[in-house]
Amino acid sequence: MNNDTENKSRILYFSRIKALACIAVVVLHGCYITGATFARNDRERMTALFTVRNLMYWAVPAFMMVSGALMLDAKRKIDLKKIFGKYMPRMVIALFAFAEIFAVYDHAVYQKDFRPRAPA
C-alpha cells in the first residue's frame, strides 16, 4: 500500500460516531414533529419527548466535528488571516441570511412578531 492510500483509509471510529450522530439527529427531529403533532396537550408525553430530544443534542456538534475532521487534509495549511478574512465572514453572512429567511417564514406562517416579548 502506498502512502496516499494509507492516508485516505477510513477511520472506523469516526465513521461509527458519524452514523450514530445521523441516527440521533433523525430521532431529535422526530421528537419535534411528534411533540407538535401528537403530544401538544399531554404533559407526560411532552416531558418524555423533550427528555429524549435533550439527550440527542450532542449529535449535531458531533456530526459537524467528525465531518470536518474527515474532510480536512493534514497537508493543507490554513493561516489565521485566511480564517478571519475569508471563512468567518462567509459563515456570519450565511448565519444572518438564513436567520432572516426563517424569521420571515415564521412571521408569514405563524404570524409571529419580530419584536421580543416579555414572558406571560
Which residue matches cell numbers 493561516?
A: 79
Model confidence at 98, pLDDT cuts 50, 70, 90, reads confident
| pLDDT at 20 (0 to 100) | 94
First to last CA, the chain: 66
For the segment 6-41, what is each residue's pLDDT rounded down to a tens digit? 455 667 888 899 899 999 999 988 888 887 788 778
CA dist 72 and 67 (Å) reads 9
| pLDDT at 26 (0 to 100) | 93
Q: What is the mean pLDDT of residues 84-111?
A: 82
- The whole-model pTM stands at 0.55
Q: What is the mean pLDDT of residues 97-118?
A: 72
CA dist 36 and 111 (Å) reads 17
18 touches 58 (CB < 8 A): no
